[in-house]
Amino acid sequence: MRTQNLVTVGGADIEVVLLPDLGARLHRLRVHGMDVLRTPADISNHARDPFFWGGYVMAPWCGRLAPVPTAVGDRLVNLRPNFPDGSAIHGQVYAAPWRQTGDASFAIDAGGDGWSWRYRVESVVSVSGSSLTIDLRLTNLDDTPMPGGIGLHPWFPLPVEVAIHSDTVYPSNADTSPSPQAVSGNLDLRRPQWMAEGVDATWPGPGDPPLELFWPEQHLRATVRAPFPTLHIVAAYAAERGAIATEPQTHAPQGLRRLLNGEPGALTLIDPGAAIELPISFEFSPLA
């Protein structure tokens, strides 16, 4: 059902409210009446401060890229910084207007503005019983191979516990190393726990399930799966926002550098007319 610029999916058990005109982003996610996303009282806050509300799609890259002229074959990537740290972050579609292609499906054709390929991003949202599924697709519409990545960036207000089932980690998303290291200390999240303030890191190659979220006071648990050959889970603690982000995505930060240097966690090189897909599911269940 669409009212003004809102699209509502689901019902009593799980209700999702999306904003097609602002990145087809998740404005609200209610589970058994409980709000689990960081949802603003004023919808316009999504436009004023787009990186820190709800849950949004990242494409054609996720996380940070360096905003410096970079040759990729015969094409040039020359992005503008859009974040206070001087990076080009989270792609180009997180707050752009998407078109609604079905009851709960959305798409946007984009490219340019420093990104030398044309591409399409699609999102299909569905609710069934206790599950929410968001199927993401990134298609190369151009005539040369395109580096690409896609992911989802949801914010969860505190308090919430997290478990990321990976043995290795890139400790910093701002100054990301070429290779991951063994998890330790605050970055060992293989058991459910509160995330430590200041964490901003990436966990590659997680197991099954890759990610779990826990709300002990509400006796609620979410098991998150996102099957992809090079799945990464990015997590960050934003103390000033009172929230954490846990982001399933297809590559590590600085994915373009990684592709050009042969480092792990790189962007995928997508052939003309081809696509990558990232199906993300949230299965909610009672917490014993």
The Cα-based distances of 13 to 32, 40, 127, 128, 158 in angstroms read 5, 21, 9, 9, 21
Smallest CA-to-CA distance from 276 within 250, 248, 258, 257 is with 250
Per domain, the residue ranges of the chain are 2-286
The Cα-based distances of 191 to 15, 44, 62, 282 in angstroms read 29, 37, 26, 19
Low-confidence ranges of the chain (pLDDT < 70): 1-4
Q: What are the tokens at 266?
A: 């790189």
Q: What are the tokens at 230?
A: 């090079």
Neighbours of 202 (CB within 10 A): 27
Q: Report whether 193 contacts 219 (CB < 8 A).
A: no
Q: 184 CB contacts (<8 Å, ≥6 apart)?
A: none
User: Phi and psi (nearest 5°) for 216?
Assistant: -60, -40
pLDDT for position 4:
53
pLDDT for position 189:
98
pLDDT for position 1:
39
Residues 210 and 152: their CA atoms lie apart, in Å, by: 14
Helix (H) or strand (E) holding 246: strand 243-249
Compute the residue count for the chain.
288
CATH architecture of 2-286: Distorted Sandwich (2.70)
* DSSP tag of 92: S
Residues 116 and 238: their CA atoms lie apart, in Å, by: 33
Residues 101 and 81: their CA atoms lie apart, in Å, by: 31
pLDDT for position 2:
41
pLDDT for position 242:
97
